[in-house]
């Protein structure tokens, strides 16, 4: 499968320079309202470059998969109004559409392009009430199929986090806490859910990934990186906002991928937009750690 790449990303991969994949949903208007989506785009790219790595924003442009977009693509990607999961890619490719990539689509593109590290905000997971709706994000299955390290601030806090961890365990996806013993809850540093594995450095993560590959495991791993202390919204403060977001999505009849933008918008309103600076801070922190991991992998 041919993946289009920017000249910079292609040169980086050819020369052995570390590369970090980025999803394009969080930097589109469906991830954050303008102008914050542009600010997120600039901050995550700069964070990756600060580590010596090259950012590779993923997207589907006129039916072609891109790992690393050119500058003239940026405006189209930031303004795109179609969000694509892994399962949507073949249909959108055949129709030559343009869209932004979710976690599952980005993991797929990164795997095909040979990019081993991906930074995002928070992964999708098991939705509340999934025992009735069976609403489980394809992000989890994608991590089990593609050999990509996913760096995130845990899973989005409005999900069923205990069930999300259970599904990751069932899929044999290693979940590694970065300087934490508990699973982060996106805007909050801890969900209170214990993790089995903790590391203190990017080098340790790279060593685990190398051992993972040596075992013949075809999938990736999840690195859980808590939001920076000064940007955290405590769980007690965010609980009512999450309830408001879930109610807004239910009232709109939005489920699955369509629910997330409505939930996030309602949470931003309920927190007087405190969630937006938190989103920017955690995305930037994840991007920087991903860059450090990508560099450590080349030394491993």
Catalytic residues: 23, 156
Which residues have C-beta within 8 Å of that of residue 279, sequence separation ≥ 6?
26, 32, 36, 40, 121, 187
E strand or H helix that includes residue 235: helix 235-252
Q: Is the Cβ–Cβ distance between 280 and 36 less than 8 Å?
A: yes
Give CA 294 to chain center in angstroms.
16
Q: Who's near 155: CB < 8 A, 6+ residues apart?
A: 122, 123, 124, 125, 161, 164, 183, 185, 186
Question: CA 91, CA 89: separation in Å to the nearest integer?
Answer: 6
DSSP bridge pairs for 161: none
Rounded Cα–Cα distance for residues 168 and 175 (Å):
8
Tokens of 106: 């980005």
Distance CA 185, CA 232 (A): 10
Q: Which two tokens stand for residue 276?
A: 């937006």
CB count, 10 Å around CB of 204? 16
Cβ partners under 8 Å of residue 10, min gap 6: 68
CA angle 271, 275, 277 (to 5 degrees): 130
């Amino acid at each position: 499968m041919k993946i289009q790449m920017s000249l910079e990303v292609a040169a980086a991969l050819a020369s052995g320079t570390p590369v970090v994949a980025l999803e394009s949903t969080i930097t589109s208007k469906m991830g954050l309202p303008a102008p914050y989506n542009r600010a997120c785009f600039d901050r995550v790219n700069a964070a990756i470059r600060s580590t010596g790595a090259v950012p590779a924003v993923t997207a589907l442009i006129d039916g072609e998969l891109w790992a690393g977009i050119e500058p003239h693509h940026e405006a189209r990607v930031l303004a795109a109004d179609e969000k694509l999961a892994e399962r949507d890619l073949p249909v959108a490719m055949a129709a030559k559409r343009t869209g932004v990539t979710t976690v599952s689509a980005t993991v797929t593109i990164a795997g095909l392009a040979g990019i081993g590290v991906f930074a995002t905000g928070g992964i999708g997971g098991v939705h509340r009430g999934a025992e009735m709706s069976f609403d489980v994000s394809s992000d989890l299955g994608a991590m089990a199929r593609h050999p990509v390290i996913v760096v995130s601030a845990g899973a989005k806090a409005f999900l069923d986090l205990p069930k999300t961890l259970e599904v990751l365990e069932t899929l044999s996806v290693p979940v590694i806490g970065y300087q934490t013993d508990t699973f982060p809850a996106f805007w909050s540093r801890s969900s209170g859910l214990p993790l089995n594995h903790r590391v203190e450095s990017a080098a340790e993560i790279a060593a685990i990934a190398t051992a993972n590959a040596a075992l013949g495991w075809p999938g990736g791993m999840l690195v859980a990186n808590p939001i920076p202390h000064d940007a955290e919204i405590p769980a007690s403060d965010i609980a009512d906002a999450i309830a408001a977001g879930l109610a807004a999505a239910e009232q709109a009849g939005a489920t699955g991928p369509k629910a997330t933008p409505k939930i996030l918008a309602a949470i931003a309103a309920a927190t007087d937009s405190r969630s937006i600076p938190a989103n920017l801070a955690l995305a930037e922190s994840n991007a920087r750690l991903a860059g450090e991991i990508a560099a450590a992998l080349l030394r491993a």
